[in-house]
Amino acid sequence: MSEAVVALINVLGILIAVLSVAAGLIWVERRLLALWQDRYGPNRTGPFGLLQVVADAIKMFAKEDWIPPFADKPVYVIAPAIIIVTVLTSFAVIPFSPAIGVVDLNIGLLFFLGMSSLGVYSVVLGGWSSNNKYSLLGGLRGAAQMLSYEVFMGLSLMGVVMLSGSFSLRDIVEAQRGLWFCIPQLLGLVIFMVAGLAEAHRLPFDLPEAEAELVAGYHSEYSGMKFGMFFVGEYLGITLISALISALFFGGWLGPILPPLVWFLIKMFAFIGFFILMRATLPRPRYDQLMAIGWKMLLPLALLNLVVTGGILLAAGG
Amino acid sequence: MLGLFQSIWAILKHTFRRPVTVQYPDEQFDKPPRFRGRIILSRDPDGQERCVACYLCSAACPVDCIALQATEDERGRRYPAFFRINFSRCIYCGYCEEACPTYAIQLTPDFEMSEYQRQNLVYEKEDLLISGPGKYPGYNFYRVAGLAIGGKGKGEAEDEDPPVDLRTLMP
């Protein structure tokens, strides 16, 4: 009985916390971008503009939820839900602290990779069902980008899996008691970061949206809360990738003095900030450049990382 | 690849730079001295209206937002019976100020004149007139013009010689 209650509290707590963090990130991102562009950003609504999130949410909910008559209705409605569902499901395997976390799957990492692959459907179906050239182009780009970056995203994590000998995220965090994996797996970390940016289709890898070329890409036709779900889904994606980086490469909840959850959150928000810094800095590559970076540079590097890590482990453990 | 990190570092350094934003309604900013804003009608140093109702501003106005009617007082001084500027039309080009021969019409740095009703943007003479001489203190058109009005005959203006009797110029 009490176990079920604890599990329920865990599930609801993580769900609410993650959704509020994702919504709050809209404010954080705007303030940080403004800081780096010598502006103030939203600072009028409430203290430091914090109520901007509330104002945005009210605006989103109050907007007309319009479905274009030429759209493929059922698919059009389902597409924004997919990204939210897949990303939120991925959060089930994230170990926030020894006590907090929904499940401890022994294939946690594979579960995450599978869920992020399913997330592609959101972009593709959203772009396809909108029945709009630009949306379709955005959807196609999203499909190609996310599928190709998925490949070495998985490969870049295999070094971590080899070092810890487990796919379970809790075991991986525990295996970093001696040394955080960001040092032996530096290459893996960099590759995972790039792939994570591409998976969350964040700038500079936001080619599915590419507002300079494709209106708003796959969600051009979306309005109201359906657009809001794509929007929140993107921020959930950054949160997820940041949480994973801190768990896989930076020792998750491990750290002195402060409670485990605090350490996890500090690391997670540091990477969220870093992703926003990347957005503030880097221009969007051309589409063929994106594909070239993926297949010609990062994939061989990921394979190299895999081979070298495996070789060293064999030699050391042999 | 190195350039990538250089640009990230360059952006990161902006963390400690002051924002360039002027948070306008809370902070005011310095307007340039020749800023062209709300139009006013100025007065002589002795408190009389400068405007002589010559219609030059109205003629110069590219959007025809100035309307006035000339009249004359008992001393022979011209002045506008009414003077109306429709600020919902005005484009603040300053041609009226350039055209004015008496420095009566002037543009000021004030631009905060929003209204909820368009009709309220039509300013009458009593809204436009200010109590002072504006940008040209000390200038008094009737004191320097040769025109005779009540209280100032021919030849009594500043730097003006008394009228010459034409018959004394005979050879």
Q: How would you write chain B as a 3-class SS string?
A: CHHHHHHHHHHHHHHHCCCCCCCCCCCCCCCCCCCCCCEEECECCCCCECCCCCCHHHHHCCCCCEEEEEEECCCCCEEEEEEEEECCCCCCCCHHHHHCCCCCEEECCCCCCCCCCHHHHEECHHHHECCCCCCCCCCCHHHHCCCCECCECCCCCCCCCCCCCHHHHCC
- State the sign of the Cα–Cα–Cα–Cα dihedral A64, A67, A73, A78: negative
State the Cα–Cα distance between residues A114 and A20, nearest whole angstrom: 25
| pLDDT given for residue A17 in this prediction | 87
Answer whether B167 touches A (CB < 8 Å).
no
A18 within some domain:
no
Residue owning tokens 């954080």: A28
Question: Domain of A304?
Answer: 66-317
User: Residue A38 and residue B14: Cβ atoms within 8 Å?
Assistant: yes
Residue A214 tokens, joined = 């494709």
- Find chain B residues with C-beta within 8 A of A30's C-beta: none
- Find chain A residues with C-beta within 8 A of B23's C-beta: 40
Phi and psi at B66, nearest 5°, equal -105, 130
- Find chain B residues with C-beta within 8 A of A32's C-beta: none
What angle, 0 to 180 degrees and rounded to 10, lies between the N-to-C axes of helices A260-281 and B2-12?
110
A298 within some domain:
yes
Answer whether B6 touches A (CB < 8 Å).
no
State the Cα–Cα distance between residues B131 and B45, nearest whole angstrom: 9
State the Cα–Cα distance between residues A236 and A84, nearest whole angstrom: 8
A48 within some domain:
no
| pLDDT given for residue B42 in this prediction | 92
| pLDDT given for residue B116 in this prediction | 93
- Find chain B residues with C-beta within 8 A of A34's C-beta: 19
A54 within some domain:
no
| pLDDT given for residue B24 in this prediction | 86
Residues 16-45 (A) with a CB less than 8 A from some CB of B = 34-40
User: Residue B15 and residue A36: Cβ atoms within 8 Å?
Assistant: yes
User: Residue B14 and residue A35: Cβ atoms within 8 Å?
Assistant: yes
Residue owning tokens 């079920």: A4
CA atoms within 13 A on the CB side of A258: 13
- Find chain B residues with C-beta within 8 A of A281's C-beta: 7-8, 10-11
Mean pLDDT of B122-129: 91
A276 within some domain:
yes
Answer whether B13 touches A (CB < 8 Å).
no
| pLDDT given for residue B124 in this prediction | 92
**Residue of A38, A277, A281 with shortest CB distance to B19:** A38
Provide the b/e sequence for B119-154 (b: ≥16 CB within 10 Å).
eebbbebeebbeeebbeeeebbbbbebeeeeeebee
The vertex-B132 CA angle with B127 and B137, nearest 5°, equals 140
Max CA pair span of chain B: 96
A30 within some domain:
no
State the Cα–Cα distance between residues A79 and A77, nearest whole angstrom: 6
Is pLDDT above 60 for A90? yes
Query: Which residue does chain B place closest to A275, by CA atoms?
Result: B8
Percent of chain B with pLDDT over 90: 37
Structural domains of chain B ordered from first start: 46-144 (3.30.70.3270)
Residue B29 tokens, joined = 């900013």
ipTM of the complex: 0.70
Query: Which residue does chain B place closest to A34, by CA atoms?
Result: B19
DSSP letters, A129-184, are HTT-HHHHHHHHHHHHHHHHHHHHHHHHHHHHHHHHT-S-HHHHHHHTSSS-TTTT
Number of structural domains in chain A: 1
HEC profile of B69-86: EEEECCCCCEEEEEEEEE
**Which stretches of chain A are DSSP H helices?**
2-36, 52-62, 73-90, 108-129, 133-164, 169-175, 186-199, 224-248, 260-281, 287-292, 299-317
Phi-psi region of B79 (alpha: psi -120 to 50; beta: other; left: phi over 0): beta
| pLDDT given for residue B121 in this prediction | 92
Which CA distances in Å does A207 have to A228, A287, B162? 19, 7, 85
Answer whether B17 touches A (CB < 8 Å).
yes
Beta carbon pairs, A and B, within 8 Å = 33
Answer whether A106 touches B (CB < 8 Å).
no
User: What's the gap in Å between the CA of B2 and the closest CA on chain A?
Assistant: 13
A28 within some domain:
no
Answer whether A297 touches B (CB < 8 Å).
no
Give B25-66 pLDDT, tens digit per residue: 888 888 888 899 999 999 998 888 899 999 999 999 999 999
| pLDDT given for residue A318 in this prediction | 55
A268 within some domain:
yes
- Find chain B residues with C-beta within 8 A of A36's C-beta: 11-12, 14-15
Is pLDDT above 80 for A91? yes
**Residue of A36, A278, A282 with shortest CB distance to B14:** A36
User: Residue A281 and residue B18: Cβ atoms within 8 Å?
Assistant: no
